[in-house]
Amino acid sequence: MIRHALLALSLLPLAASPLRAQAPATAPAAPQRPATMWEDVDQPMSALLNGGHRIVSSMGPSFTLERNGKYVACEVRPAGGMRGARETTSECHRLN
């Protein structure tokens, strides 16, 4: 009986250790990321495609074009709609 009591007393610190407050782990600092710069492109998307850009991604009216490792984001605005535009237009921006 005493042997069991001694064993229980010797294991008590191990059982209580998870209850102690642990210092929160600090996450490593996140790397600095450059701000995304949007530069207006004075050409329509069709001119960029005819000039050698290729579509690498699209979602709805948005397209991402690439040429020589440089990217351009374009939005196509169809004719009609709420704006009542007569022609389909596009607006493009160079990224960084």
Given a cut of 70, is residue 70 above it in pLDDT?
Answer: yes
- What is the share, in percent, of the chain residues with pLDDT greater than 90? 47
Q: Enter the tokens of residue 38.
A: 């949007």
Beta bridge partners of 39: 94
Q: pLDDT tens, 46-68?
A: 999 999 999 999 999 999 999 99
Buried b (16+ CB within 10 A) or exposed e, 34-49: eeeeeeebeebbeebb
This prediction's pTM: 0.60
pLDDT at 16: 52
Amino acid at 73: A
Quick check: 36 and 60 in contact, CB under 8 A?
Answer: no
* Secondary structure class of 58 (helix, strand, coil): strand
